[in-house]
Chains A and B, each alone.
Chain A
Amino acid sequence: MNTNAMQRADFAAIANWIKPAARVLDLGCGDGTLLRFLAEQRDTIGYGVEIDDAGVLACVTNGVNVIQGDMERGLSGFADDSFDYVILSQTLQAVRSSERVVSEMLRVGREGIVTFPNFGYWRNRLQVMSGHMPVSDNLPYAWFDTPNIHLCTIADFENFCRDHGVRIRERIVITDGNAVTLMPNLFGALAVYRFERA
């Protein structure tokens, strides 16, 4: 979560969706790179939520507003509809209570934005077929030290949305920095969604 904005193709996709001067909440914001990028590109009023001391310190150094806390304990400090967008960037797969986090995102924000590594990407499938857990640029961890406990595919996430009253507004699927339109659940490495309450 601490990589440079230039290396994060999903950042550009997110910035394209966000309206100028919007209020943005970034859950698990790390060092605040995305919020800083959005403030520069879209003049947003942004806040991050981060649990880790080093992340909070880095946000302060980056000039990004950050609230230290555990997003999994709910967003009770944030009022209903108090943000235009609530973002969960490459973190959905690492949260324990995915349903609760998504529902809190849509309570606090008018729209939610998530990005996650697509487990259905052919390279991941190939590694599983060869008998191993996938390790790649988007899934850089070994099975024993990964924070990713709720990996899913594009098809899984879309089923989840359908079953949980979430309406998908836009989707971008990215592989090696390029948009993928053909069979995205097979050829897409990274999925980026914008959604709202159905």
Chain B
Amino acid sequence: MVGHITYLSDDEMASKFGRQLRHGRLNYTFGVEFEIESYLSHQADKFSDYFDANTYLRITKALDYFDPAAAHGGNLSLALEPATASFLVVSFTTDWRFSPERSREIIKALLDNRRNVTYAEIDAPHGHDAFLLDDARYHGLVAAYFGRVGAESGA
């Protein structure tokens, strides 16, 4: 459930659920009382059907272990030095799962290496989930970028 919360944003949860109650009043029990609890426990049930719990734990640990700069003394610029590709980096302002701050670290490392890089910070209310949703600015940007790649490669 904590994981799921990080996919959403504060504003998104507030507008969707706020403090709405499941049964219209507080019962002072440890059961589901708020709509947000009901939603999260429903998502948790779905998750436990989709994923083997141990696999999910292992994936979570793998994410924790992932540090692209670790082999270079924590220096991301050194880690990205061998890269020759052009980069498009997009972040969403309300994403606290992978915040714009992290994307800016990538940008700095690419700039240090004088790589072709474009960075867009999209003001979207949906948190991390925004990248799965139909955001016109995000889609327009990706379409324009691929259009450019296509034109340059003569496709």
Contacts and interface: CB of A to CB of B under 8 A. Distances in A.
Contacts of A82: 111-112
Interface in A96-145: none
A61 B116 CA distance: 14
Q: For chain A, give the interface size range.
A: 10 to 19
A72 B111 CA distance: 20
For the complex, would chain B's binding face be called helix, strand, loop or mixed by DSSP majority?
Answer: helix
B57 interface: no
Contacts of B121: 68-69
Interface string B115-155: 01111111100000000000001001100110110001000
Contacts of B117: 47, 65, 67
B126 to A, nearest CB: 16
A23 B116 CA distance: 12
B25 interface: no
B16 interface: no
Q: Taking each of A53, A57, A68, A69, which has the highest tally of chain B beta carbons within 10 Å of its own beta carbon? A: A68
Contact of B147 (A47, A56, A61): A61
A21 to B, nearest CB: 11
Nearest to A46: B116
A68 B104 CA distance: 10
Nearest to A47: B111
